Amino acid sequence: MGTSGRGGLLTRPFLAVLLLTFLGFAFEHVLRPVVPLIVIDRGGGPVLVGVVAAVHSIPSVLFRPTIGRLVDTGRHALLLRVGAVLGTLAPLGLLLPGSAALSPVRFVQGTGWALYSVSTHSLMARRSPVDRRGEASGYFMAMPALAHLIGPGLGVALYLSTGAIGPALLATGLGVAATAIAFRIRLPAPPAERSVRRETRLERFVEPSALPATLMIAAFMLPHAIFTVFPPVYALEVGAPLEWLAIYYPLYGLVMFLSQLVAGRASDRYGRHAAIVAGCIAAVVGLLVALAGSGLVTFALGAAVYALGTALVSPTMSALTIDRAPPDRLGAAMATYSVGYQLSSGLGSLLWGAVLGVGGFAVAFVIAIAFQLGTMALSVRWSSSGGGAPVDPFD
């Protein structure tokens, strides 16, 4: 983990991590816009869409810190493989009739996702050179963006033409590919030297050094669900054809992917705090654009500008977490940090489902802007040092 130099980042082992990450996010993103459509077609509304989306995040919030501790104690390969297998099999449960099975199926899939994503995130962290953590995190975060470019639009197109069976089989096929790689990849051993001090009660559940980034990424990413989970609801509200989603999702993913490839290294060059503030400003602008309009064009444009902000903030927060983490607790740190994404996804889905049911998208955009301003305020305290050495998060 302590390597440096400008020429050794995109090595074959690191590229294998990127491929694993892409496949994992691909079988998730194929289903993410399809599940709300299934809920709606089976008689549900925005509130049920939010509940089913939130159920997927519950295992991550409950299990990720424990998964991270297990990664640090040498069970990395097992956790990755079990997560891949669960992620492969769970989508088939969406073929069960009715709405009752949707929440249990998404809970199982969320459990597999927690195992898989903590394992890949920890693997990226261990293979990131010290002076290129922002860039490495940018490449890593470009993989979910690439999956978002391909998966949701393809999932929607398959659903409109075949029903649930097409997206479910595609997600399972991607899971099979991920599982095959997970059983072949060679994972690095945990650090030989581990701290001899006794864990505090807090450290048994989370890695304290990662909590600032966890809180900031949760606040920043809260609006993400508006642009990823609820576009089907927006399309129905403005009377747009659902076929629009097959165009919207790839465009959103393309902006996210291209900006992640470029923006990840910004925090290595200009500092963690500057990158976070710039990303929050971009997110606020995107939300204002979406708020100012009332049609598909302004919604998509606002989502694209928000995606630019995400490309700055997300890899920066990841790099900041690696900066602060004790080497022998890197898995716990990445697991704790990644809980922030699940909090934003789960709580965001519940929040936006309730808000949309009462006040509509305009109120949701205003609340989302407040969270971006809150993230900027938190970053003044917790990211202005620019990273580099582990520090006390509450110093």
pLDDT for 192 equals 55
pLDDT for 190 equals 61
pLDDT for 278 equals 93
For the chain, the straight-line distance linking the first and the last C-alpha, in angstroms and rounded, comes to 25
DSSP one-letter string for 88-116: HHGGGGGGSSSSTTHHHHHHHHHHHHHHH
pLDDT for 193 equals 54
The parts of the chain modelled with pLDDT lower than 50 are 1-7, 385-395
pLDDT for 306 equals 94
Compute the distance between CA of residue 277 and CA of residue 246 in angstroms, rounded to an integer.
Answer: 32
Q: Which domains does the chain have, with CATH numbers?
A: 12-189+206-382 (1.20.1250.20)
pLDDT for 392 equals 37
Q: State how far Cα 268 lies from the chain centre.
A: 21
